[in-house]
Structure 1
Amino acid sequence: MENLEDLKILAEQWSHQGIEYLQKIPPSQLYAAIGVLLFTTILLFLSIRLVTRTKSNTVLLSGLTGSGKTVLFYQLRDGSSHQGTVTSMEPNEGTFVLHSENTKKGKIKPVHLVDVPGHSRLRPKLEEFLPQAAAIVFVVDALEFLPNCRAASEYLYDILTNANVVKNKIPVLLCCNKTDKLTAHTKEFIRKQMEKEIEKLRASRSAVSTADIANDFTIGIEGQVFSFSHCCNKVTVAESSGLTGETAEIQDFIREYIKP
C-alpha cells in the first residue's frame, strides 16, 4: 500500500511540474508546437494508408449469378474455360501470375483474385473483401443483359456507394462478358442503360430519405443526369469472353493498378 501511495504522490508531482512548465511557454510557441504535432500525426496516418493501399494486390470479380465470373477467374488463372462450372456458393480465391504472363521472363507480381458469389444472399461476402481491394471487376452478361439490367444496376449502385469504395477510390471495371455472341449487346449500350437505371435509383432512394439507409454514400452530381464519370472512383467499361479466352482488357485493367 505504501508503494501505491508513493506512486500517487510522484504522479501528482510530475503533473504539477508539467503544468508549471507549460505555463512558462509563450502561447505562440505552444500553439506552434501543437500544430506541428497534429500535422506530423496526420502526415504519418496518410503515409500508412498510402503504403497499405499500394501494397494491395487483391482484385475482386463481382456481378450477378450467371454473368460468367467463375469462367473468367479460371481463364485468368490457367487459361481454361471450365464450361461445366456450376454457380459458385463460396468465393473462388487464388494468388497467381496471370496466365498470359507465364511465358514472360523476370519476376512478376502475382495477383490475388477473388471471385465473389453473385447470389443475393451471398453478397455480404463482398463486404469482407472490399477493405483490401485494389480494384473491382464488375461482370455483366452482355447476352442476357436486358432482363437483368435493373438487378445488375442495383448491385453496381450498392458497390459504388459503399464507404470502402468511395473513401479508397477503388477503381471499377464494368466488364461486358460473352461479347463473342452475335446477339450480345455492345459495351456502349450497356453503359448507357446502366447509367439510366442508376439515375432512377438515385431519384427513388433519395426520395425515401436524404441519407440513403441502405448505402453509405450518394453518387452523382446534383441537378445533372448520372454518368459514371461523376463517381469519385474511376469507372471504365470493357468487353470480354470467358469461353473464348478474350480477357486482354481485364488483364490490362488489373495491371494498371497492380504493377507487374
Structure 2
Amino acid sequence: MLYVVLGIVLITLFLLAYFCIGSAGRSTVLITGPCDAGKTSLLIMLAHKKNAMTFTSLIPNVEDYELRMKNLRKLKIVDVPGLEKLRFECINKQKANTGQDTAEYLFDLMTNATLARSRVPFLILCNKNDLPDAKDAVSIEQMLETELTTLCRTKANALAGLDGHKELRVPLVKKSGEKFLFAECKHHCVTFATCSVTSTDISPVRLWLERL
C-alpha cells in the first residue's frame, strides 16, 4: 500500500501511502511537496529521532520505519525531491503565497486514477507551525478547499489525459459547480495535522503511521 505525506513550503507536508503488490511487498509512504517544506528533516526525524542539517534533495531518500504497535512491521518511507516546485515558486511567488500552486499539486495527486482506485490515504501536515505567521490546520484546510473548488471548475474539461483517455483522471466533485470538501472526498481519506519538525515533536505523524 502506498501512503502520502504532502509538504507545502511553510504550510504543509503531504504523506501518501501505496500498498505494494505481493505478500513480500512492504507498505510505502511518500513524503512529497515543494522544496524547503521540511521533507528530508521529517524523514530523518522519523527514522533516526534526531535533527540534521539538510540540503535540497536531487534524488529520493529512502529509510525504513518500524511500527511499534503492529508487531514491529516496517514501512518504507521515501522523501520525494521538490526541486521542480521550487523553480515554479521562484517564478511566481505571489501565486505560491496564496496556496494556489499547492492546491494544483494536490489536485494532480487526488485526481490521479491509479491513486483513486487504490483509495490512497493522505496526511496533510502543516509543518513549521512554530513560525509567527504560521496558519493552523483548519485555516489551511479551508484555504485548500477553496482553491480546489476553483480548480474543479476551471479544469473540468481538462480531466482527460493528453491522449484523450478520461479514465486517467477522476473528478473530485459529483456535479460541476459543487464546492469541494475534504470530508466528502470519496476516493481518499485525508487527515490534517500540525507539527514542527525542528522541535522534534512529530507525534501526529507517528500516530498516523501506526493507524495505516
**TM-score (norm: length of structure 1):** 0.62
Residue number in structure 2 paired with 1:89? 58
Residue 187 of structure 1 aligns with an amino acid whose one-letter code is A
Residue number in structure 1 paired with 2:179? 225
Percent identity over the alignment is 26
Distance in 1 between residues matched to 2:161 and 2:21, nearest whole Å: 32
The alpha-carbon distance between structure 1 residues 54 and 156, as it changes in their structure 2 partners (threshold 3 A), is farther
Residue number in structure 2 paired with 1:44? none
CA contact (8 A) 2:20 2:26 kept: no
Alignment of 1:140-155 (within 5 A): 147=97, 149-155=99-105
Is structure 2 residue 142 aligned with structure 1 residue 192?
Answer: yes
Structure 2 unaligned blocks of 5 or more: 1-18, 87-94, 163-167
Alignment of 1:32-181 (within 5 A): 52=22, 56-82=26-52, 84-97=53-66, 107-120=71-84, 147=97, 149-181=99-131
Larger Rg: 1
After the TM superposition, which parts of structure 1 deviate over 4 Å for at least 4 consecutive aligned residues? 49-55
CA RMSD, aligned part only?
2.8
Structure 1 unaligned blocks of 5 or more: 1-48, 123-144
CA contact (8 A) 1:221 1:230 kept: no
Residue 234 of structure 1 aligns with an amino acid whose one-letter code is C
Is structure 2 residue 192 aligned with structure 1 residue 237?
Answer: yes
Distance in 1 between residues matched to 2:34 and 2:85, nearest whole Å: 11
**TM-score (norm: length of structure 2):** 0.75
The alpha-carbon distance between structure 1 residues 164 and 56, as it changes in their structure 2 partners (threshold 3 A), is farther
Give the number of equivalent residue pairs.
179
Aligned-residue offset at 1:160: 0.6
Aligned-residue offset at 1:146: 6.6
Aligned-residue offset at 1:51: 7.7
Pick the structure with more strand per residue.
2
2:101 is paired with a residue whose SS is helix
Pick the structure with more helix per residue.
1
